[in-house]
Structure 1
Amino acid sequence: MGPVVDFRSNRTLLSVMDDDGLSHVELTWVEKKIEYWIRFGSVAQEKVLDRHRRIVSFRPGTVFAFVRWAANDFGTIISRVDIVRAVANGEAHQTLPFVRPGGDILLKAEGWPKVERVLQAIDGIEQLGINLEAVSPDHWRHFHNRSTAGLEPRAYTWDLHRAYVLRQRVQL
């Protein structure tokens, strides 16, 4: 008989899944109450827990955007987006709710105006035709730092992307 799963916390299921070398993200979707979703990122595997919850998993090195929004009878109680790089077993990482074991957090935004700004930046890069997973991690850090300081982040362009790709080739 397999491990007993507490569907309220899923700790047993997530801890069992931790051993496979992937980063696991628990997603919940209860319309207009709790909406956790992945905005971009290549999912390596998916496990449906029930009609409202599933776990998606990412290979080490994969960059993904994890969006969380929740409300109660009085309005929005959380609005957050994290852009995260999945880490390999044993690699240093930050903890993040609903992400096991955690990840390299490249960008964090809380509060709807900031989250919306990040989602607009993601849309803008996507409109350029650039694969969002291939965007320079330094750009996401730059965006986070400038936004945190209340400054306008630099837009990601094809020139910046080309420079990043060429830098990656030289480092190999």
Structure 2
Amino acid sequence: MTDLTRVELLHDEGRIERWIRFGRAATEEILDRRRRALWFAPGAVFAFVRWAANDYGTAVSRIDIMRAVRAGEPLTTVPGVSPGGEVYLRLNGWARVERVLQAIDQVETLDIDPVEACPDHWRHIANRLSAGETPRAYSLERHRAWLLRQGTSE
């Protein structure tokens, strides 16, 4: 398990929630009734959502779409992810997080698993939303182009 990326999830209703929106975990570990850990193999892509509230409402809303790295690869540290990963998208603020969740839904409406989507699409969404612009929707044509660049086909 030393070459796997560990993501700690938490569910404390109405206070703190950390969950995976998409991704294929290699294994799962139940820590207690509110916490569990998912382990991702190198190369696995996943979306990690973090949300927390205080007495005045939402305090933190964040989403990271990242790739689990192999030992020795450069990485970015993210709270709750050990050791970290290659970040494709990193946004905060509920309005932006919600837009990313909608973009993930849009990819799924094409019958494409978001883990298989082109990493450049997630980077595009991050850049456009950071600039206050509307990102382009993912398309079957773009996905086919990505598969061709990877040397795979549908």
Q: Same fold (TM over 0.5)?
A: yes
The aligned counterpart of 2:109 is: 127
SS in 2 for 1:84: strand
Percent identity between the two aligned chains = 57
The aligned counterpart of 1:136 is: 118
2: distance between equivalents of 1:117 and 1:93?
Answer: 25
Residue 142 of structure 1: how far off its partner (Å): 1.0
**What TM-score, normalized by structure 1, do the two folds share?**
0.86
Structure 1 runs of 4+ with >6 Å offset: none
2: distance between equivalents of 1:145 and 1:40?
Answer: 20
Is residue 147 from structure 1 mapped to residue 117 from structure 2 by the alignment?
no
The aligned counterpart of 1:29 is: 11
Residue 148 of structure 1: how far off its partner (Å): 1.0
The aligned counterpart of 1:110 is: 92
Residue 151 of structure 1: how far off its partner (Å): 1.4
Is residue 158 from structure 1 mapped to residue 148 from structure 2 by the alignment?
no
Residue 150 of structure 1: how far off its partner (Å): 1.4
SS in 1 for 2:87: strand
Q: Which has the higher strand share?
A: 2
Residue 72 of structure 1: how far off its partner (Å): 1.4
2: distance between equivalents of 1:40 and 1:139?
Answer: 15
Name stretches of at least 5 consecutive residues in structure 1 with no aligned partner.
1-16
**What TM-score, normalized by structure 2, do the two folds share?**
0.96
The aligned counterpart of 1:63 is: 45
The aligned counterpart of 1:168 is: 150
SS in 1 for 2:70: coil
Q: Which has the higher helix share?
A: 1
Q: Among residues 70, 74, 78, which one is paired with 1:96 in the alignment?
A: 78
State how many pairs are aligned.
152
2: distance between equivalents of 1:50 and 1:68?
Answer: 19
Name stretches of at least 5 consecutive residues in structure 2 with no aligned partner.
none
Q: Considering only CA atoms, is the larger Rg found in Structure 1 or Structure 2?
A: 1
